[in-house]
Chains A and B, each alone.
Chain A
Amino acid sequence: DVKVTQSSRYLVKRTGEKVFLECVQDMDHENMFWYRQDPGLGLRLIYFSYDVKMKEKGDIPEGYSVSREKKERFSLILESASTNQTSMYLCASSLPGTRRSSAYEQYFGPGTRLTVT
Chain B
Amino acid sequence: LAKTTQPISMDSYEGQEVNITCSHNNIATNDYITWYQQFPSQGPRFIIQGYKTKVTNEVASLFIPADRKSSTLSLPRVSLSDTAVYYCLVGSPRPNAGKSTFGDGTTLTVKP
Contacts and interface: CB of A to CB of B under 8 A. Distances in A.
A98 interface: yes
Interface stretch (A12-20, A62-70, A76-84, A102-110): A102-110
Contacts of A105: 34, 46, 49
Interface of B: 32, 34, 36, 41-46, 49, 51, 87, 89, 91-105
Contacts of B95: 50, 96-98
A106 B102 CA distance: 12
A106 B45 CA distance: 8
A42 B44 contact: no
Contacts, number: 86
Contacts of B94: 97
A33 B97 CA distance: 12
A4 B53 CA distance: 32
B43 A97 contact: no
A71 to B, nearest CB: 14
Interface of A: 4, 31, 33, 35, 40-45, 48-51, 56, 58-59, 90, 92, 94, 96-101, 103-111
7 contacts: A4-B43, A45-B99, A92-B44, A96-B96, A98-B93, A100-B32, A109-B43
A58 B42 CA distance: 22
B107 to A, nearest CB: 11
Contacts of B36: 106
A50 B98 CA distance: 7
A104 B99 contact: no
A93 to B, nearest CB: 10
B93 A104 contact: yes
Contact of A110 (B43, B49, B100): B43
A42 B104 contact: yes
Given A104-B32, A105-B34, A43 B93 contact: no
B88 to A, nearest CB: 11
